[in-house]
Amino acid sequence: MQVSVENTGGLERKVKIEVPEEKVSSEISNRLERLKKTTKVQGFRPGKVPLKVIQTRYGEQVRQEVVGELMQSSLYEAMNQEKLRPAGTPLIEDIADDQGKPLAFTAVIEVYPEVAVKPISELQIERQTCSVSDQEVTDMIEVLRKQQKQLEPVERAAEDGDTVNINFEGFLNGEPFEGGKAENYNLELGTGSFIEGFEEGLIGASADEEKTLELKFPEDYGSDTLKGQDVEFKVKVNSVNQSVLPEIDDKFMQAFGVTDGNEETFRNEIKRNMEREVEHTVRRQLKNTVLDAVHAANTVELPNSLVKSEEERVRQELSENMKRQGMDAGAMANADSKLFTEQAEKRVGLQLIVAEIIKQNELKVEPTKIRTMVEEMAAGYDDPNAVINWYYSDQKNLAQVEALALEDEVIDFVLSNAKVTEKPASFDEIMNKGQTAS
């Protein structure tokens, strides 16, 4: 077999392969001989069919099969011989399959790039740290109380923080507009959930009072029809209600799994939950920070075939997310492809860099760590053992966990070798949700 490789620029290679005619004809002859022994043809005894008859009937089919298999096996052999690592499916062209002549063809492939990872010791990583304070625990308990608040009607005018039950309808140029009407709607005053002036206009209103509010939608409002428009809302106040928070008693604490009625036990449980939550969030954010730093520090030439495949995965993921959120995934068809390309390029680049870090540093994952991860993933199910058995019943199932565990090994390796500075932060700053805001 003759092999030549042409570098056509970038990561593309043209691999020209020539298989000797003797190898092709020999394989064809062997297969025809085997067919002769097993093929039944009317007028001939089994195994006594003349080879010429077999060749006339099956010769072309056998040749196509042999040529296809030889092209596949010789291409694989050529890749190993030339130490080529193909990225994506080869494109076969210029096939020359003339009887009596060598089988010749060209495979156009992209190869994986050589990745030179810069020293990890030069990376600078900022890691957030958090120590949940007693005040943050107190604030969180107040949030939990508010989540279980009860509304109690009052015979007075509405105040900031009250919840008013209202009927309302909005008008633009004297005509009702879509989405501007509701009945028996509970609105907590002071939350800023309605446009400016709406909630303020209801402070001081009493039950059964009707009000007309002259307002203006903001210039950046989501609806083109309403943005910047002067509108009128007619509002009927059905009731005024004040919030009554539950006492921190046995019943309240039992709702969060504390059964001994001890408030200190309850506070400790809330604190542990907050610490677990912030730990997971810090780890997730730190992982992204590390990967971003690694990606920014290393430039990699990307195989176009891998980027295109990743683009499709990105598009599919976004489409599925939109469907889960009740959005029209059909809009993805007209979306700017640049949106998917940039994300796909970053993913492929990171995959190549991370793979090289693993290879250079011979990173591995202990089976015990994989087992721990599987057990943690299974813990939230009704039958954890069944989930664990599912993962271990098929290597394909377990491979997903192994990949995650190996990625964690990379993150830990980078953190142990990079220049890491710690930045203290509050619970709310890390969670970025205002979870303990009063």
Q: Which residues partner with 168 through β-bridges?
A: 182, 235
CB-based burial of residue 153 (10 Å sphere; 0-12 exposed, 13-18 middle, 19+ buried)?
exposed
Nearest to 244, CA basis, from 149, 363, 365, 342: 149
Whether 234 is in a domain gets the answer: yes
What is the number of domains present in the chain? 3
Its pTM surpasses 0.85:
no
Same domain, 361 and 395: yes
Whether 119 is in a domain gets the answer: no
| Per-residue confidence in pLDDT tens, the chain, 438 aa | 899 999 999 999 999 999 999 999 999 999 888 888 878 777 777 777 788 888 888 888 999 999 999 999 999 999 999 999 999 899 999 999 888 899 999 999 999 999 999 999 999 999 999 999 999 999 999 999 999 999 999 999 999 999 999 999 999 999 999 999 999 999 999 999 999 999 999 999 999 999 999 999 999 998 889 999 999 999 999 999 999 999 999 999 999 999 998 999 999 999 999 999 999 999 999 999 999 999 999 999 999 999 999 999 988 888 888 888 777 666 666 667 777 899 999 999 999 999 999 999 999 999 999 999 999 999 889 899 999 999 999 898 899 899 999 999 999 999 999 999 999 999 999 996 655 554
Q: Which residues partner with 230 through β-bridges?
A: 216
d(CA 66, CA 339): 45
Same domain, 174 and 70: no
Whether 360 is in a domain gets the answer: yes
Whether 35 is in a domain gets the answer: yes
Same domain, 189 and 275: no
Same domain, 21 and 98: yes
Same domain, 92 and 181: no
Spell out the alpha helix ranges (H) of 117-174. Answer: 134-147
Task: Supply the CATH number for residue 405's domain.
Answer: 1.10.3120
Whether 72 is in a domain gets the answer: yes
Whether 121 is in a domain gets the answer: no
Same domain, 227 and 288: no
Same domain, 289 and 427: yes
Same domain, 272 and 407: yes
Q: Which two tokens stand for residue 406?
A: 């190996």
The answer to whether the beta carbons of residues 246 and 252 sit under 8 Å apart is: yes
Task: Supply the CATH number for residue 19's domain.
Answer: 3.30.70.1050
Nearest to 205, CA basis, from 233, 244, 179: 233
Coil vs helix vs strand at 73:
helix
Same domain, 98 and 50: yes
Last residue of a domain, one of 61, 95, 110: 110
Same domain, 229 and 90: no
Last residue of a domain, one of 82, 110, 138: 110
Whether 308 is in a domain gets the answer: no
Same domain, 105 and 15: yes
Q: Which domain holds residue 279?
A: 261-299+341-431
Whether 315 is in a domain gets the answer: no
Task: Supply the CATH number for residue 181's domain.
Answer: 3.10.50.40
Nearest to 179, CA basis, from 130, 131, 225, 111: 225
Same domain, 278 and 377: yes
